[in-house]
Structure 1
């Protein structure tokens, strides 16, 4: 297995499952940190700020700082700022997406007369928020969704994800959004920019084929599937484009690297 110059890492199913740390994950991050190998946690979660994501990881024993995190919120805000600096935005979502938009100098408005509508996971979503979003899209606002995840794993089971909430606006208006998060290249381009390395020097590590592995494939980045989450080894190897590598867990990668 090739040793890479930089590592892009999924969280749920790769680093942890709910509140439990996955075997080998903490050790692998410590290995990267100790060997001065840059890494970024790439998450579709737009509701949390990078410091909040890093704080959760730190409390679980990972070496993690805010600058180790790229969220779909950050990628969304960067995309809009590049396309239309200072744009007005109506946003449905939590503190993560609001902070990211503000950091990029975008103006958040609470009415339907805006340049963009952005939706991220919002546990307090209601009819009025969806109504304003639909009116804005019908008025010509560009429709952006932070990620297409239709469900999210929780301790209670799988709950509606941002993709499910996004579909309400799509069904009502007939307008398909631009998705930013995994498996789309937009969030990966943001990660590549942040880590400052060529794509050929990077590997995307994750458990779920349709988001994590496909995000690497769609971006011409090598992929490492870990058999610690949703997608099984048999499933990923049966895909038309399998991952570059698949391992039982990340301890296996350390063993391979240290055996070289």
Structure 2
């Protein structure tokens, strides 16, 4: 196995499936901590702040980390919007389809998330999605608002099975408006490049770890880093082996991986 100095690790389907534990993942994180190898959980999940991610890992999965170990698509989205608004001299106004924690992150970045004339529309996973929310977002996009999608996940592995993800909501708006969104999370490499900077390592020193070829692995490939696909969630070997570019490494379980 390669000797990496840093790990970027997906959460949903990789470290856990909803509230279902993946014991081999817990042992893998413990080995990283024992060897003092830095890592970041790079997640497309926008429904929780880092503190809640940390609490969930501790309470439900017996994995104990710090908030500094977490980098979410919500955090990357807020950073992107603030930089983009500054460059384009746009007002800090947004319509956000998403959970309260995502709205809070964007609000903390200086945006009015209750504007009737938003400069940005953000679409993410929203457990209380309604037709009216979609209608307001579609109208704003048609009126010229910049369309931001937090991530393209079509499905989320949970204890109930694979449920619709943010990508399903984003595609609804894309289809309705015929406007392509700016995607922030995986498979976009923006979130990966930001995470590598946080680790203060070079691209040849880190590996992207995940269960989903279409998001985790493609993001790593786009960012020019090695990838490790673990078959605990979305992707299956038969599907992956038909792809033109293969993951650098494939494993059935984290117990198969030597640090």
Distance of 1:234 and 1:168 partners within structure 2: 29
Quote how far apart the aligned CAs of 1:46 are.
0.8
Deviation at 1:212, TM superposition (A): 1.3
Q: How far does the alpha carbon of each residue in 1:158-208 deviate from its partner, in whole angstroms, 9 at most, with x for none? A: 322211112222222211111111111122122122222211111001122
Alignment check: 8 A CA contact 2:207 2:225 kept: yes
CA distance 1:168–1:233, change in 2 (3 Å): closer
Find the counterpart in structure 2 of residue 105 from structure 1: 110
Q: Does 1:155 align with 2:156?
A: no
Contact 1:237 1:243 in 2 (8 A): no
Q: Does 1:62 align with 2:66?
A: no
Instruction: Look up the match of 1:123.
Output: 127
Corresponding residue of 1:2: 2
Q: Secondary structure at the match of 2:65?
A: coil
After superposition, give the CA deviation of every residue in 1:118-146 in whole Å (9 maximum; x if it has no partner): 01111111122112211211111100011
In 2: Cα distance, 1:235 partner to 1:167 partner: 22
Q: CA deviation at 1:29?
A: 0.7
Indicate the residue corresponding to 1:232 in structure 2: 236
Q: TM-score, normalised by structure 1?
A: 0.91
What is the CA–CA distance in structure 2 between the aligned matches of 1:110 and 1:39, rounded to whole Å?
37
Q: Secondary structure of the residue that 1:84 maps to in structure 2?
A: helix
Provide the secondary structure at the position in 1 that maps to 2:232: coil
What SS class does the counterpart of residue 24 from structure 1 fall into? helix
User: What does residue 19 of structure 1 align with?
Assistant: 19
Return 5+ residue gaps in structure 2 as ranges: none
Residue number among 196, 200, 203 corresponding to 2:200 in the alignment = 196
* Mapped partners of 2:131, 2:105: distance in 1: 24
Q: Does 1:132 align with 2:136?
A: yes
**Contact 2:93–2:115, Cα closer than 8 Å, also in 1:** no
Kept after mapping to 1: 8 A contact 2:152/2:215: no
**Conserved 8 A contact 2:230-2:250:** yes
TM-score, length-normalised on structure 2?
0.91
CA shift for structure 1 position 234: 4.4
The answer to whether the Cα contact below 8 Å between 1:49 and 1:95 also exists between their aligned partners in 2 is: no
Q: In the comparison of the two structures, how many residue pairs are matched? A: 254
**Match of 1:76?**
77
Shift in Å at residue 148 of structure 1? 1.3
Equivalent position of 2:145 in the other structure: 141
Query: Are 1:89 and 2:88 an aligned pair?
Result: no
Distance 1:227 1:107 in 2: 41
C-alpha RMSD of matched pairs (Å)? 1.7
Is this contact kept in 1: 2:97–2:133, CA < 8 A?
yes
